[in-house]
């Protein structure tokens, strides 16, 4: 039996990935498909990825700032695949401002995409995740959800601390239903986001392909090997 084929014979497991048009989300989608998953990609501008040669990847319009978007996406993905086994809440934004420079609007914008939208996505997917008996939720947090490394990352850190707390809260809520949640907490990853805020060369940052492999591994672990947080760093710090 294919590793991804379910016991109930309804086909390969299905993952929803937000912000899958570029960066960590796009590479994670490709890796999961390579490992036999079916995927539904939520993007602001849905576009079929070049690697989807068979055209069987599901695409859906998804704007994390639209509170109705998650329910519509879930309905469409269920229509396409009939099951949801995992969500990867990846879409995120970073506004590099100190807590003194920033306005409420900056904080609201980051909380909307980095915290509120992932909560709604988990909520919308809750029933199918529970039905699978081994639902998985990956929240892409950050090492900025574990420590405040610089003044300019302070506002972003507020949102990512909340995202990590969200992941723990989902883990607590879903455990008896077989749902396992993990907060992935990377430092600099070589994507548009990090490359726009630091002079650190890309080859000294974590490769997004390595984040994708870690996500795939975490999704595969059995219910009895729950990982609450997974920290990844490209540089030496005291605790991470």
The single residue among 32, 91, 183, 219 that binds ligand NAP, judged by CB under 6 A, is 91
Size of the site for ligand NAP (CB under 6 A): 26
The partner residues of 89 in beta bridges, in order of sequence, read: 139
The residue to which tokens 């469409």 are assigned: 76
> Can residue 135 be called a binding residue for ligand NAP (CB under 6 A)?
no
164-183 residues in contact with ligand NAP (CB under 6 A) are none
Task: Tally Cβ neighbours within 10 Å of residue 40.
Answer: 25
> Can residue 132 be called a binding residue for ligand NAP (CB under 6 A)?
no
CA 212 vs CA 88, 168, 209, 219: distances in Å: 11, 21, 5, 11
Give every CB contact of residue 34 below 8 A, 6+ residues apart in sequence: none
The single residue among 49, 92, 135, 174 that binds ligand NAP, judged by CB under 6 A, is 92
Q: How many residues in the chain?
A: 240
Catalytic residue among 37, 156, 161, 188: 156
> Can residue 57 be called a binding residue for ligand NAP (CB under 6 A)?
no
156 is catalytic: yes
CB of 220 to ligand NAP, least distance (A): 21
Q: Which is nearer to ligand NAP, 86 or 113 (CB)?
A: 113
CB of 152 to ligand NAP, least distance (A): 13
- Spatial separation of the C-alpha atoms in residues 101 and 39, rounded to whole Å: 40
Contact string 16-35 vs ligand NAP (x = CB under 6 A) = ---x-xxxxx----------
- When computed from its CA atoms, the radius of gyration of the chain, rounded to whole angstroms, is 17
> Can residue 142 be called a binding residue for ligand NAP (CB under 6 A)?
yes
Q: Which is nearer to ligand NAP, 12 or 33 (CB)?
A: 33
> Can residue 64 be called a binding residue for ligand NAP (CB under 6 A)?
yes
Q: Which is nearer to ligand NAP, 12 or 15 (CB)?
A: 15
> Can residue 194 be called a binding residue for ligand NAP (CB under 6 A)?
yes
Q: Annotated active-site positions, please? A: 156
Residues at the site binding ligand NAP, with contacts judged by CB under 6 A: 19, 21-25, 44, 62-65, 90-94, 113, 140, 142, 186, 188-189, 191-194
């Amino acid at each position: 039996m294919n590793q991804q084929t379910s016991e109930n014979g309804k086909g390969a497991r299905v993952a929803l990935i937000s912000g899958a048009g570029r960066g960590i989300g796009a590479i994670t989608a490709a890796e999961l498909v390579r490992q036999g998953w079916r995927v539904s990609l939520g993007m602001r501008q849905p576009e079929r990825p070049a690697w989807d040669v068979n055209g069987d990847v599901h695409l859906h319009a998804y704007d994390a700032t639209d509170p109705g978007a998650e329910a519509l996406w879930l309905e469409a993905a269920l229509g396409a695949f009939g099951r949801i086994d995992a969500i990867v809440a990846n879409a995120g934004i970073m506004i590099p401002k100190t807590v003194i420079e920033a306005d409420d609007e900056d904080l609201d914008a980051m909380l909307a995409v980095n915290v509120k939208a992932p909560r709604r996505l988990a909520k919308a997917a809750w029933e199918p995740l529970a039905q699978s008996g081994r639902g998985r939720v990956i929240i892409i947090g950050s090492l900025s959800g574990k420590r405040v490394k610089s003044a300019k990352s302070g506002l972003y850190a507020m949102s990512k601390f909340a995202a990590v707390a969200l992941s723990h809260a989902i883990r607590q809520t879903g455990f008896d239903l077989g749902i396992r949640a993990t907060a992935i907490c990377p430092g600099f990853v070589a994507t548009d986001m990090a490359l726009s805020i630091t002079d650190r060369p890309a080859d000294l940052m974590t490769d997004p392909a390595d984040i994708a492999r870690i996500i795939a591994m975490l999704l595969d672990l059995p219910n009895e090997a729950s990982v609450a947080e997974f920290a990844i760093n490209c540089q030496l710090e005291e605790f991470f």
